Structure 1
């Protein structure tokens, strides 16, 4: 199944997506949130197969992030050897873990705000893993698949000066407003036979910058979920960003960081495509 949220920010309607059409889920749930992901997916599947769901058009044409605000976003750093090399970092012996503000999540086609004075805003296409059952101290990576509800295209936007040059944790270079476009849809795990065989691509102003595969991960999806469960409780609706392949601005010789007006397009095989225009914060509504 494929789930999403459509309509204006803050008023998104939970919906099921099938063959280019949206179906209203409000008779089942108020949102694509942790409670729904833990217990409502099969109910939605049954209602859809029975023809009980009404087709709906996205209000205003907007597609929002496919999940409601999670309790947390956990990110895995330098999880592709080629990205580690281009960034001048060693390939890690254990997953590099940092957190990202859940409030950074926006829709897959929403604008992204460049922070005031920023000169090192960067792109990162990533496979997002969404948790569907509580996980704590999983016995082995073999148990991870049981707590994964699905996968999503995630854009882990980063400000490299804040992340790497200003001291402290990486979080402040990752948590700026609008820094995690997500979607267009959440694809349930049964439609992704092998999450370690997905192509990831990203373009800036039409020029390809990233072209990799999840097969290149240092630590695979199941290992990551198992590992994180040893240090924190994973809850339904939580999002894990699993790292990015080579090709970010930080690793390129001329470091072509993003400027206002730049357009980033990205996709993951089977999970859809997104497009974000980067704008100055001063031009944003309510800035």
Structure 2
């Protein structure tokens, strides 16, 4: 019997006992890998799903429960009821789409905000002989930069200095303002992998050295492959993070090098703006970017960039 999202708590617990043999509380912190996808051959129809495991089949939430929305942003706006339904779907093992029939999209599209953090790895600051920031350095990318985990990065005609930046990203799960640091993680739906692609000539030399234009060309924010809920990670602030270009490791660090961790970033930014479900944060990049190499190295047509974070996954994008 399929339970509806509005089912009573007692029935949810019964479902958990039946499917796993133990009572476990159904909450928004359930261990899940949430994805946004389309069926191969039906690219115009976006769906929200739950991966059975990285690279395995995807449970179509709308097929499991027709009342579920078709986009991740709408799903996150449902709050706990959406997460509960996703957990039941995962436990059921029903409505599975084989991985070969799935095209993964960015796990979030059309967010209200893409919030980025500069100079947020100690080892990246050392790479530049730069001081450790005393407060988070915040900038943004336009939401139109977001592209899928395996989609192409398009080199713009306006730049000859396009660079890579692997980053731990996280997605806001509920609305909040003036969030306390000790409560901040409860506002985070989960974590994903990002590449903060950057046109260094526009970031560092042109437009008054303001960062926005150099960061916000179309396709300059590959994101994915999934939103991994916090409880699925042993310690999000102690994960290996790396970037490979054409198979060669160019960045290799650990999220323990973050100066301002997730809780601090949520609390800090929410002092200035209201955070909304679906908002994306890029938390900064470790050392090894192309611009600080001697001589500098930039992306060219035909390159393949892979960004990896342990326990979360990897994204891989061709440069065209």
What is the TM-score of this pair, normalised by structure 2? 0.82
What residue is the counterpart of 2:238 in the other structure?
A: 197
Contact 1:29 1:36 in 2 (8 A): no
* RMSD across aligned positions (CA): 1.7
Contact 1:199 1:214 in 2 (8 A): yes
Tell me if 1:50 matches 2:92: yes
Tell me if 1:3 matches 2:34: yes
> CA 1:133–1:104 in structure 2 vs 1: closer, same or farther (change >3 Å)?
same
| Distance in 2 (alpha carbons) for counterparts of 1:22 and 1:61 | 8
Tell me if 1:218 matches 2:259: yes
| Distance in 2 (alpha carbons) for counterparts of 1:107 and 1:24 | 18
Tell me if 1:115 matches 2:163: no
- Structure with the bigger RCO (C-alpha within 8 Å, sep 6+) is 1
Contact 1:86 1:252 in 2 (8 A): no
More moved, 256-265 vs 5-14: 5-14
Contact 2:61 2:89 in 1 (8 A): no
Partner deviation per Cα, 1:175-213 (whole Å, 9 max, x = no partner): 100000111111011112321111101111111100011
| Distance in 1 (alpha carbons) for counterparts of 2:124 and 2:258 | 10
Contact 2:46 2:70 in 1 (8 A): no
Contact 2:300 2:319 in 1 (8 A): yes
> CA 1:174–1:24 in structure 2 vs 1: closer, same or farther (change >3 Å)?
same
What is the TM-score of this pair, normalised by structure 1? 0.91
Contact 2:172 2:189 in 1 (8 A): yes
Tell me if 1:13 matches 2:44: no
Q: Shift of the alpha carbon at 1:55?
A: 1.1
Kindly tell me the number of residue pairs found equivalent between the two proteins. 277
| Distance in 1 (alpha carbons) for counterparts of 2:255 and 2:43 | 31
Structure 1 residue runs without a partner (length 5+): 280-287
Could you tell me which of 196, 199, 211 is aligned with 1:156? 196
| Distance in 2 (alpha carbons) for counterparts of 1:9 and 1:205 | 28
Partner deviation per Cα, 1:131-165 (whole Å, 9 max, x = no partner): 111121123x1111110110001111111111111
> CA 1:114–1:145 in structure 2 vs 1: closer, same or farther (change >3 Å)?
same
